[in-house]
Structure 1
Amino acid sequence: MRNVGYAHIDDLASLIQIDSQVIGNESRHKQIQEAILEKRCLVVKEGEAAAGFLLFNTHFFDNTFVSLIIVSPDERRKGNASLLLKHVEEISNTNKIFSSTNRSNRQMQKTFQVNGYSQSGMIENLDPGDPEIVYYKQKK
C-alpha cells in the first residue's frame, strides 16, 4: 500500500538516491535536506521504500509552489506524482497552488492536466530553447 506524508531526516539517503538516479548527481542534497527539516518535503512510500518525493514552499507571491517532483524511474506511471500533488493540495495553507515544468517534459504536463491544473503562463530563458510552463490550481 502506498502512503504519502512528510519526509523525515532518516528518509534523506533514499531521496538523494532517487534524485541521483534521475539527474545523475547529488547536487540537490542540501536543498532536499533543508526541505525535510523545514517540513516542506513530502514522500510517497510503498511499504517502507520511498518511491518519490515532492518539495514545496510559499515563496511564489505567498502561494504554495511545488518546486520539485521526483519519482524513481522504476516507480513511474503508477500514480505516485498524482498522490504527491493531491497531498500537497490537502495540506496547503494557500488557496492557489502553482508549479512548472519544461515544455519538453510531456509526461509532467500530462500529470498536471490529469490533476486539474491549468496553464498559467510561460517563462523563457531558464533552459535555452526549452521554456518553463507554469501551472496553476485553485483549491476548492
Structure 2
Amino acid sequence: MKSLEIAQLIDLDDIVKIDKQVIGNNCRCEYIRKAIEEERCIVANDKNLIVGFLIFDTHFFGCSFISLIIVRPTERRKGYATSLIEYFINISPTKKIFSSTNKSNQRMQEVFKANGFIQSGFIENLDEGDPEIIYFKSK
C-alpha cells in the first residue's frame, strides 16, 4: 500500500539512510532535518517502509523548486518518483514549479519529461563538465 505524506522527524534516520545509499555519505543530514522541521519534505511509504523522498522550497525567484527526489535504489522504476512529484504539484503553494538534474543523469531527465516538465535552461560550473539542466512545469 503506497502512501505519501509530509515527513516527520521520526523519519529522519530512514531518509538519511536512503540518501547515503545513493550519494555514499550522510553529509546532507542537517539539510534533510531542516526540511523536515519546515515541512518541506515528502515521503513515499510502501508497507511501512520509506522508499523515497522529495525536498522542496519556495525561494527560487518566488517559485517552488524541487531540490531533491531520491528513491531507494531497490525500489526504482516503480512509480515512486512520479507519485512524489504529483503529490507535490497538488500541494505546491506556487503555480510555477522548477527542478534540475545533471546532464549526465538520464534517468531523472526521463522522469521529468514523463511528468510534463520542459527544459528551461542550463547552469554551467556547478559540477565540472556536467551542466545542470533546469526543468519547469506550471500547475
Deviation at 1:39, TM superposition (A): 0.3
Structure 1 segments (4+ residues) deviating >4 Å: none
Amino acid at match of 2:63: N
Amino acid at match of 2:74: D
1:22 aligns to what? 22
State the number of aligned residues. Answer: 139
Deviation at 1:47, TM superposition (A): 2.0
Output the CA distance in 1 between the equivalents of 2:27 and 2:4: 24
Q: Which runs of 5+ in 1 are unaligned?
A: none
Matches within 5 A, 1:28-43: 28-43=28-43
Output the CA distance in 1 between the equivalents of 2:10 and 2:101: 28
Deviation at 1:83, TM superposition (A): 0.5
Q: Which runs of 5+ in 2 are unaligned?
A: none
Counterpart of 1:86 in 2: which secondary structure?
A: helix
Identity %: 53
Output the CA distance in 2 between the equivalents of 1:122 and 1:94: 22
- Tell me the TM-score normalised to structure 2 length: 0.99
Output the CA distance in 1 between the equivalents of 2:115 and 2:2: 18
Deviation at 1:3, TM superposition (A): 1.0
1:9 aligns to what? 9
Matches within 5 A, 1:10-89: 10-89=10-89
- Tell me the TM-score normalised to structure 1 length: 0.98
Provide, for residues 40-67 of structure 1, a one-character-per-residue CA deviation record: whole Å limited to 9, x for no partner.
0000000210000000000100100000
Pair 1:108 & 2:105 matched: no
Counterpart of 1:78 in 2: which secondary structure?
A: coil
Q: Please give the root-mean-square deviation of Cα atoms over the aligned residues, in Å.
A: 0.5
